[in-house]
Structures are given as structure tokens and as C-alpha cells.
Structure 1
Amino acid sequence: MLSSQRFDKIASNFATSEVHRSSPTIDALHETLGPQTGRALCDVACGAGHLALSFAAQGPARLVGVDPAPSMLEEFRALADDRGAKVEAVEAFAGELPFPDGSFDLVMSRLAPHHFPDLAAAVADMARLLRPGGQLAVIDLEGHEDQEIDALNHELEMLHDPTHQRSYTLDEWIQCLNDAGLNVPVARGSQAESPTGVPVKRWCEIASSGTEAEQAIRQRLTEAPPGHLDALGIRRTGREFLIPVRTCMVIGVKPLAETR
């Protein structure tokens, strides 16, 4: 797929990206899930593995990162080695995960599902991997309920990264997890991976968007109604725009097997 080919070339950008290394939503996810000691964890479309490795010190029984881009998995292994973490790196696409049913206690994916060409199939496959009572945790770019604002958001994301598919609203995420047979006790919208905002220049550097795309983003932001920017959490300081990387966080739980 084009997205895996593109990310294979820019993997080092994501290994060093401040947006991907840490964020308030990662902290919130840890606080919500609690310790994962002795549990089997899988990070789908893991990129450089920052989310998976944030659990490494907790002593999981198994820590797996899955990504279709070989260079991303190389970065994941290198970061794991730096931390002395034992991990498994598996090359595969979301929706084609090469594990038996019920292999994991926690499956997660961060800042990746907006690239999935078939979200429902990917979520169903991730849910398949869960043991009864297991959790699927997703942090991803959030769409907007207002169609005009959502259209602006989509245009900006496509300029930023042409392999972007779609940012889903919180309600759409809840429905998607429900359709995969999961209960959704946690659903939080209007989160931000960078509360202070990432300058457009840096935002484009991370994704290797290119000068032409960066200029087009700046032009579109300059022309956009201020209310639209406010709704997306985008702030202007002088000639620069600050991007919050607006996200939502959802956690689905696989029901326990019925007892007879």
C-alpha cells in the first residue's frame, strides 16, 4: 500500500517526533488502563513503537509491535534495544494480523487508523485478537460533526499527508467498536497530542509534506474562517499557525464469555 511505502522512507522522522514520543493522551491511557504487568500487549500500526514502549517498564508478558513498513519496525527494535525492552516486531497490515484469536489482553493503535483503507475490517481484526475481557484502545485524529469544518480538517490532513484516508468522529468510533462486538466504556473527544500546538513548519517536517504542501496549508489556514480554526483548536501567533493534532480516545472491551 502507498502509506506503508511512504512511511518506510520517513521512519526516522517518527522515531524522533515529539508528537509521537509522548502526549497527554498516552498519559491518560495509562491512567485509565492501569498497570499491564504480566499481560500480552499488541500495538497495531505501531510506527516507531512509542506507544508500545510506553508500557515496557510495567513488565508485560508479551509486547508486540505490528507495522507494514520494515523501516518503522527497525526503528521500533532500535528504541526497544535502547531501553532494554524485549519486544516482537511483526510486519503485517491492520486487517491481516497474523495471530490466533484471543492472543492478547490489550490491543492498541495510535495516530494510525486514519490511514486504514477499511476501518471496519481493521477494527474487527483487532477485536478478534482480544481475550474475553480484553481491551482495544485507540487514539486517533478526530473528525468534526460540522460538515464544513470537517471538510477543512480533511483538506489540511490530505495536504499534510496524501495517504490520509479519513478522520472519524467520536460517535463513528463508538459505532465502529460496537459493530465489532465491543462495549465502549471510555470515549473522549477533543483531545490534543500537543496542547501548546505544533508549528506548521514542524508539523510538515515530521511527515515530509514538502514545501509546496506547507505553503498550501498556510494559505488555507489564512483564508479559513476564524471560527473554523477555533473549532479545530488551531491557533495563530504572528505569521505562524499552531496545530494541536486534535484526537479522540476510545477504549472497547470484549465481553466475558457467558457462563452456563
Structure 2
Amino acid sequence: MLSSQRFDKIAENFATSEVHRSSPTMEALHETLGPQTGRAVCDVACGAGHLGLSFADELPARLVAVDPAPNMLASVRRLAAERGITVETAEARAEELPFADASFDLVVSRLAPHHFGDMPQAVSEMTRLLRPGGRLAVIDLEGHEDPAVDALNHELEMLHDPTHVRSYTLDEWIGFFQDAGLNVPVARGAQSESRTGVPVKRWCEIASSGAEAERAIRARLAEAPARHREALGIRQEGEEYFIPVRTCMVIGVKPLGGVR
């Protein structure tokens, strides 16, 4: 519950974050999924709700936002009211979702699963909510296949946000989905949530990392081999580093006969 307590305190940061409001990967997700008109959509670990609310113009029959942090849900309701969107909210963890089986046509989660304590259980729960033929779509921080690069990535993420648990590789994500009984027609790695990269200073502001963590991140980046930074898509201009917020996008489909 430490992550929900932390995010309760920084909910406004996420409501106004340019990284969370939109991204190339969000755009690609909409293009891949197509319109959700008349369908039931659930945004799990929704934060300020930017991904879920982005489906509102497609006129879903039901739009639900779920998060363990009450202040995040308050941000969702405020942003929805400002746009005239009807949204239901529920305070819950991804591992224990308070909905009946087969309640939704689409379940999504973005930039949150790296905080989940039990990923197989969370994916199983999100899959349980799907109707046959329904889809689970995740966009999340991506781990790296090279252990040394992955270790650097993990260290940076922990400095950025100490409630970070783990960034999983694309192959690991495919495995989680398949183990839950989903077919996986879409799995794209090495995506980016920012076209230009987020300056370290701004990256730390969004997460309220603090000055000490920002200094540690800069020091770690300065001493890291250039090839490791490049493998993570991190570039340097002068004394500033730019973080791409490297992600993967995975879409799973529940078989028409239900999960096998």
C-alpha cells in the first residue's frame, strides 16, 4: 500500500503531467484497437485517468476507472467533470478487482503495472473481467534483455520512484498474458512515451523524486557507459539528460470459448 499512499500525495502531478496525458504509444493503442463505441471499458491502476478518459469520445457504453489511491480517483472525477464525461470510479488494487466475471469488453492499464506486487495475479484478475473476445491492453515500462543495461534501468527507476517494483521485458509480458489464457496478437517493445525525451529535472518533478534523488540519477547517468544509456534511449544534450520513458505495448485477446 506504500505506492497508493505515495500517489495520493502527488495526484495533481499526474493530472497535469504531459507524459501521462498523451503519448505516441497511446495514439498507437487507439489506432490498433479501433473505436470502442458501445463497449464497456475499464482502466486499471488508472492514476489520473488519462488513458481511460481518452476513450470517452468513442462513446463507450460504460467507462470505469480503478485505482487504490483515493486522490487519484478524485482527479479522475474532476477531469471527467471538466470534459462532461460520465465515469464510474472504484478504489481497489489490480490484484483484487471488485467486478463480476466478464464485465468488460476492454481492460487497459498504462504506466502502472511496474508497481504491482503480484503480476500474475493482476493479469489473471484483469483477464477475468473480460468477456469472450474482449481485449486486455497494457502499456508499461519495459525491462531490458541485457542484464547490465537492465540493472542500470532498475537503479534509475528506483531512484526516480522508490515504490517501483520491476520493469518487465517484452517476453515476460507475453508470458504473463499467455499464462492467463490470452492470445497475444500485438506485442511491441522499445516504445517511447515522449517524442523528444523528458529532461531529468522534469522527470523528477512529475514523480516528486526530490533533489537528492535527482542528483543521484544525474551522477549514475554520468558514470554509466554510453552504450548502456543508448540502449535505454537516453540521450545527452550539454549537461542535461533526456529520458524517453521507454515502454512496451501488449494486447491480449480472451478466446471466444473463454480462458482455457
Partners of 2:58 and 2:127 in 1: CA distance? 23
Correspondence for 1:119 = 119
Correspondence for 1:5 = 5
Partners of 1:93 and 1:169 in 2: CA distance? 22
The structure 1 segments of at least 4 consecutive aligned residues displaced by more than 2 Å after TM superposition are none
Partners of 2:115 and 2:170 in 1: CA distance? 17
Partners of 2:26 and 2:237 in 1: CA distance? 27
| Structure 1 residue matching 2:15: 3-state secondary structure | helix
1:164: how far off? 0.1
Correspondence for 1:81 = 81
What are structure 2's unaligned runs of at least 5 residues?
none
Deviations 1:12-68 (A, max 9, x none): 000000000000001000000000000000000000000001000110000000000
Partners of 1:181 and 1:131 in 2: CA distance? 13
Correspondence for 1:233 = 233
Deviations 1:156-208 (A, max 9, x none): 00000000000000000000000000000000000000020000000000000
1:80: how far off? 0.3
TM-score calculated relative to the size of structure 2? 0.99
Deviations 1:99-140 (A, max 9, x none): 000000000000000000100100000000000000000000
| Structure 2 residue matching 1:109: 3-state secondary structure | strand
| Structure 2 residue matching 1:165: 3-state secondary structure | coil
- Asked whether 1:49 is paired with 2:49, we answer yes
Identity %: 77
Partners of 2:82 and 2:180 in 1: CA distance? 36
Alpha carbon RMSD of aligned pairs, Å?
A: 0.6
Correspondence for 1:108 = 108
1:257: how far off? 1.6
Correspondence for 2:159 = 159
| Structure 2 residue matching 1:93: 3-state secondary structure | coil
What are structure 1's unaligned runs of at least 5 residues?
none
| Structure 2 residue matching 1:138: 3-state secondary structure | strand
- Asked whether 1:219 is paired with 2:219, we answer yes
| Structure 1 residue matching 2:127: 3-state secondary structure | helix
Correspondence for 1:66 = 66
TM-score calculated relative to the size of structure 1? 0.99
Correspondence for 1:37 = 37
Partners of 1:257 and 1:120 in 2: CA distance? 21
Correspondence for 1:250 = 250
Partners of 1:237 and 1:117 in 2: CA distance? 36
